[in-house]
Amino acid sequence: MSETLKTVLDKYIESQNKVVFRENAVPEDKDGYVDAIKKSLTDKIYDEIRAEVRDEALADASKIIEEKAGLKRIDEFRKLAINGVIVAFFVGLLVNQSTDIIDYWKGSFQASNIWITVGIAVALLVICIIIFTYMFISELMKMLRKDKNETN
């Protein structure tokens, strides 16, 4: 019990002493009764304070969680935007090269050496596969770390 609470309870019981006890009360009974009252009042006060503190702590925790979730959503959106631009750039280049190859086969595109275009298209395809594989493994590792942290 905190010293302040103990002092307050002692003063309260002392002020109520004359009202509650007769002058000829047995001191042992009186001490036992006073201890029981102190314990009862202490438990009641602690329960009330716990309820108030719990509600305030839950409200504070909820606010902090919401702020962190907002920051996390912003960070995820930033990463998604950057990844989207990178992927779109390389996929766009791959599509352009593939279009040139299709046009060459159709006869509407004239090139002295189509194999350079094919080589570039293959290189871009490999780059796209590497990017997608990296993103997939990265997200998989995040999920595994999150699951591992949640089980601990």
Per-residue model confidence as pLDDT tens digits over 38-56: 888 888 888 888 888 888 8
pTM: 0.52
What's the pLDDT score for residue 8? Answer: 80
Does pLDDT of 57 surpass 60? yes
Most confident of 1-5, 18-22, 46-50, 80-84: 80-84
Mean pLDDT value across residues 8-23: 67
Domain that holds residue 34: 3-151
Distances in Å between the Cα of 42 and the Cα atoms of 16, 21, 126 are 16, 20, 72
- CA-CA distance, 38 to 32, in Å (whole number)? 10
The amino acid sitting at 56 is E
Give how many domains the chain has, as a whole number.
Answer: 1
Token reading at 123: 């290189």
56 backbone φψ class: left, alpha, beta (φ>0; ψ -120 to 50): alpha
What's the pLDDT score for residue 19? Answer: 55
What's the pLDDT score for residue 22? Answer: 56
Q: At what angle do helices 27-106 and 3-20 cross, to 10 degrees?
A: 140
What's the pLDDT score for residue 29? Answer: 67
Model confidence pLDDT, tens digit, residues 73-131: 999 899 889 989 999 999 999 999 999 888 888 887 777 778 888 999 999 999 999 99
CB atoms near residue 121 (< 10 Å): 19
Mean pLDDT value across residues 9-36: 68
What's the pLDDT score for residue 125? Answer: 94
